Amino acid sequence: MTVTIKTADEQDKMRVAGRLAADVLDMIGEYVRPGITTGELDEICHKFITEVQGAIPAPLNYRGFPKSICTSVNHVVCHGIPGDRVLKAGDALNIDITVIKDGFHGDTSRMFFAGKPTIQAQRLSQIAYEGMWLGIEQLAAGKRLGDVGAAIQQHVEKHRCSVVREYCGHGIGRIFHEDPQVLHYGTAGTGLELRAGMTLTVEPMVNAGKASVRLLPDGWTVVTKDHSLSAQWEHTVLITDSGFEVLTLGADDR
């Protein structure tokens, strides 16, 4: 396992990339409404990233992925491909954004709702959001990766939901997916020891039903096996000498 420790200059570039990724999510929110297609959302984000930000949408052509963002609706866990799907009132949507600026990646995702959400979707989104933050709050030099996963798992299962096991967070920097893998379940006090200068993502995928998932024939879209709702939130985080710094805070969080 090769975990990169970012220099002060690299950390600054990660801050820029993280802010740009968050700005895309801030921008796209007003467009998420019944009647729009996920493909139209992708086009809006692509133009904003390339023309306004002067950045690169990292997912486009990454290992063959055909679009610039991921759009995961309702029971889609992750890696949903934007297309002709029209959002209906009450749909829950995760939009996952990764931009590249000056060679560095910023990665973040957020839940949105087309119109008024269902009570279950809103509750699940809140549980995933709280789980992400509980995991982030474990990040500090000297702590271990298992502390992150244990905090998330405990919270999610306390609310009788489940954590997806097959997909996880990751190190990030010049490379989209670096070591280490950041599991969203685990045992406190185990795993890699964290060091200042590491940058990684915390992005729990939380299902209302069972944790089991399946991959659709397109080779990308992951859905819940039991067709239950899924929700996800994600931030890119820098571990500092004094704790952590979230690099992808939205405008309302800064």
pLDDT digits (tens, 9 = 90+) for 17-54: 999 999 999 999 999 999 999 999 999 999 999 999 99
Are residues 182 and 170 in contact, defined by beta-carbon separation less than 8 angstroms? Answer: yes
Q: What is the pLDDT of residues 79-116, one digit of tens each?
A: 999 999 999 999 999 999 999 999 999 999 999 999 99
Start-to-end C-alpha separation, the chain: 33
Q: Give the pLDDT confidence score for residue 177 in this predicted structure.
A: 97
Q: Give the pLDDT confidence score for residue 252 in this predicted structure.
A: 86
Look-up: residue for tokens 């975990």?
A: 3
Q: What residues does each domain of the chain span?
A: 8-246
- 3-state DSSP assignment of residue 187: coil
Q: Which fold has domain 8-246?
A: Creatine Amidinohydrolase (3.90.230)
Q: Across-strand partners of 243?
A: 240
- Taking 70 as the pLDDT cut, the residues of the chain under it are 1, 254
Q: Give the pLDDT confidence score for residue 150 in this predicted structure.
A: 98
Q: Could you give the CA distance from residue 3 to residue 192 in angstroms, rounded to a whole number?
A: 10
Q: What's the predicted TM-score (pTM) here? A: 0.97
Question: 70 vs 161, 168, 221, 242, CA distance in Å?
Answer: 23, 15, 9, 33
- 3-state DSSP assignment of residue 185: coil
